[in-house]
Structure 1
Amino acid sequence: MNGERADSFLRMIKQAQRGRLKIYLGYAAGVGKTYKMLQEAHKLKSEGIDVVVGYAETHGRKETEALLEGLETFPQISMSYRGIDIHEMDTAGIIARRPEAVIVDELAHTNVPGSRHSKRWQDVEELRSAGIHVISALNVQHIESLYDTIEKLTNVKVKERIPDRVIAEADQIVNVDVTAEDLRQRLSEGKVYIAEKIEAALENFFRINNLEHLRELTLRELAAHIDFRQRAAEKEEMTANPDQVMVCLSSKGPNSGMLLRYASRLAGKLNRNWYALYVETSKEKPEKIDAHTQRLLGDTLELAQELGATVYTYRSDDIVGTILKFAEEHRVGHIVIGSPGRKLPYWKRVLGDVGLAEKLINASRGENIVVLNTRRM
């Protein structure tokens, strides 16, 4: 108990030293996130807060550009990439300037190769580590664990994504909301994209059904965050955390990303820690699997870390026994496993053999076993 209280106090110290993070969350471009951020910057300035604009993407919108007047806009860095000059936020310069707060638009942005960090959310983490408060903006489709859901609903593969832990660590999330009909009207009037992009946008991503689905996801995400923050406060008073979540990984498991995102969402809903476990059998030693499989496994373990899992790798030929022992030692109540890539041959089933998932279910000691159909894409 004393150790857990010490860890809790250490977290409080670290949190006090870090800058706060506020995110304006929307369901699509054009709902008004940047506008709201800049309005808040003016309010902070009027109250004597030292605030600068580190990066703001106005997309040529006159009303938004007008809000930049009267605010200190920190100079950006100009970088050349494939013969094109690209401007990125000067993270090091802002840290040296040390404002109390900074506006950082487009949290999911990918920086140009050669930048200080590959992703803008990493720039934000560095700013916060320096004690600078950050106000940023994000669309719901850029949240990593929602990737499969977004693709299924909109048929769009979102390339720029941020780890769920960035959202979980936000001190405040504000939903910027307009109706789908109003957003389409704004788009038609040229207030979102330039004229050449309007028709294609209306016929594709900005269809009513798409927007309504995204809007609902955004509201759910906001509700989940509020619930998470409330339970996190209660959790500090708890001395034990039963019912943790673990996901079992395989070197050749199909669609491991879907499996990890499901486990991440489940852990978030339950407000529990979660673990990713890979059991390396004698048949899966590095020298026995091909380079392609090794690369896939490495990518899977890296994604697990990005989504916030604590990753463990054990060596054993007793996969079921290792999983259940780990579950017992880490107070795991929910075990997530993917469906096998190939069905067990008929002759093995005739002889009484069963697959890994069924073995795990038969040998479990009260844990909830979730078998996710990862064969579907």
Structure 2
Amino acid sequence: MATSVSTTQRPTAQDFLELVERGKRGRLKLYVGFAAGVGKTWRMLEEAHALARRGVDVVGALIETHGRAETAALIGDLEVVPRRKIEYRGVAVEELDLEAVLARAPAVAIVDEIPHTNVPGSRNRKRYQDVLDLLGAGVNVIGALNIQHLESLNDLIARNTGVTVRETVPDSFVEQADQIVNLDLAVEDLVERLRTGKIYPPDKIPWALEHFFRDANLATLRELSLREVAESLDRSAAQRVPLGAPAQRASGRVMVCLSSNPPHALALLRRGSRMAGRLNTDWYVVYVETPREAPARIDAEAQRHLLANVDKARELGAEVVRLKSSDPAAALIDFARAHRVSDVIVGRTNLPWWRRLGRGTVLERLVREGEGLDLHVVSFFEEEPRA
């Protein structure tokens, strides 16, 4: 799906309306920022009112004001679907009422805080999955998220800011967006907004300034946000080939090599997702089951981690392949050559030297025998370990 990205000029309601009129599946527009307070909810509400003035049936499916009076006032006469109340551990929790929005069937739904994790008992585990259901039902969605919630950036952000983001969305979700609007703001202006109480209540401001809202953190996140949107624009331009122009050679695919129970599987998967996104290509996660790793022979914990890693890989947009072989290196090389793989991602082994005697580790053999393959070895320095 092609992605239209705007960073220099402000898209109008008419821009999005033109996208709405194409096709039966709902269209997705995302407002992306680098931190809370850059104005995502405000801009969504402004666009909602602009669409309503044009006669478009638009509702607020989930609007999060974070207690900001100015944002709450901007809702005005916009129709808002009441939230669903779910009791969890004795506490009433409010969530997006997906069933009510689907029954209402508006032309456009506004959905805030897309990376949010739904309370147990909801139809979907994550709010972005609610958005996918709305799109599948033909409802167009305008949503918002911050760049640090992008799954493939999780390890990079943890290393550079010291902040571990728990709620993420897969890159494959963002890649489905028809429009991505980057909301940029000078770091100094954002910090001033925080100090004057326009982002968090007064009691939370000192903590925010000492932790997430440090100048260095914000500068890093702002740079990442600008870069990600620019790369999305590059990928979109590469996909649009003018009629009659010579076809360009497709880039090779990416393959992530996964063992049965690697301690840093998430880092490998995120690296694969990110590389595939930059190359605008498909990617595989390949696990080679050796005779000693047959399901009946590995312990229950390793089997559980393997299944969880497979689910995460599919969530991130990979095609998961399970091979059986007594020679993992040969199986991986054969698969790569048969499926036009150009880039192979592996983790650095920590095996002691006495366990590497003989034919060598899978990594060593990929180096020796993987002629024509670009090998990317992930060191996991300060990467997030397995939970």
**Residues 54, 94 of structure 1: 8 Å contact kept:** yes
The answer for the alignment partner of 1:369 in structure 2 is: 375
Q: Cα distance, 1:242 vs. partner?
A: 4.5
The answer for the alignment partner of 1:360 in structure 2 is: 366
Is the aligned partner of 1:93 residue 2:84? no
Q: Cα distance, 1:353 vs. partner?
A: 4.4
**Aligned residue among 248, 252, 264 for 1:243:** 252
**Residues 32, 146 of structure 2: 8 Å contact kept:** yes
Matches of 2:247 and 2:89, distance apart in 1: 54
Is the aligned partner of 1:340 residue 2:346? no
**Aligned residue among 158, 176, 182 for 1:151:** 158
**Aligned residue among 74, 86, 110 for 2:117:** 110
**Aligned residue among 44, 49, 61 for 2:56:** 49
Matches of 2:360 and 2:334, distance apart in 1: 20
Is the aligned partner of 1:72 residue 2:79? yes
Matches of 1:224 and 1:375, distance apart in 2: 26
The answer for the alignment partner of 1:221 in structure 2 is: 228
The answer for the alignment partner of 1:269 in structure 2 is: 278
SS of equivalent to 2:311: helix
More displaced, 312-321 or 271-280?
Answer: 312-321
**Aligned residue among 264, 268, 272 for 1:255:** 264
Matches of 1:375 and 1:35, distance apart in 2: 39
**Residues 329, 366 of structure 2: 8 Å contact kept:** yes
Q: Cα distance, 1:171 vs. partner?
A: 0.7
Per-residue CA deviation, residues 172-218 of structure 1 (Å, 9 max, x unaligned), is 11011111111111111111111111100001110000000000010
Matches of 1:63 and 1:145, distance apart in 2: 34
> What amino acid is aligned across from residue 369 of structure 2 in structure 1?
A
**Residues 159, 382 of structure 2: 8 Å contact kept:** no
The answer for the alignment partner of 2:317 in structure 1 is: 308
**Residues 251, 279 of structure 2: 8 Å contact kept:** no
**Residues 22, 172 of structure 1: 8 Å contact kept:** yes
Gaps of 5+ in 2: 1-21
Per-residue CA deviation, residues 136-172 of structure 1 (Å, 9 max, x unaligned), is 0001111111110111111111111111100111111
The answer for the alignment partner of 1:199 in structure 2 is: 206
SS of equivalent to 1:247: strand
Per-residue CA deviation, residues 202-251 of structure 1 (Å, 9 max, x unaligned), is 01110000000000010011011111222233499859745111111011
> What amino acid is aligned across from residue 274 of structure 2 in structure 1?
R
The answer for the alignment partner of 1:32 in structure 2 is: 39
**Residues 341, 375 of structure 1: 8 Å contact kept:** no
SS of equivalent to 1:302: helix
TM-score normalised by the chain length of structure 2: 0.89
Matches of 1:280 and 1:75, distance apart in 2: 49
Q: Cα distance, 1:376 vs. partner?
A: 4.5
Q: Which has the higher helix share?
A: 1
Matches of 2:247 and 2:368, distance apart in 1: 32
Matches of 2:92 and 2:373, distance apart in 1: 55
SS of equivalent to 1:39: helix
Matches of 1:240 and 1:249, distance apart in 2: 28
Matches of 1:355 and 1:111, distance apart in 2: 42
Q: Cα distance, 1:299 vs. partner?
A: 1.6
Matches of 1:172 and 1:333, distance apart in 2: 30
TM-score normalised by the chain length of structure 1: 0.91
Gaps of 5+ in 1: 1-14
**Aligned residue among 283, 292, 297 for 1:288:** 297
Q: Cα distance, 1:77 vs. partner?
A: 1.1
Q: 1:209 to 1:164 in 2, by over 3 A?
A: same
Matches of 2:43 and 2:362, distance apart in 1: 51
Matches of 1:304 and 1:216, distance apart in 2: 27
How many residues were matched structurally? 360
> What amino acid is aligned across from residue 257 of structure 1 in structure 2?
L
More displaced, 29-38 or 292-301?
Answer: 292-301
**Aligned residue among 174, 188, 199 for 2:181:** 174
**Residues 26, 175 of structure 1: 8 Å contact kept:** yes
**Aligned residue among 133, 138, 158 for 1:126:** 133
> What amino acid is aligned across from residue 38 of structure 2 in structure 1?
V
The answer for the alignment partner of 1:319 in structure 2 is: 328
The answer for the alignment partner of 1:83 in structure 2 is: 90
Q: 1:59 to 1:211 in 2, by over 3 A?
A: same
The answer for the alignment partner of 1:16 in structure 2 is: 23
RMSD: 1.8
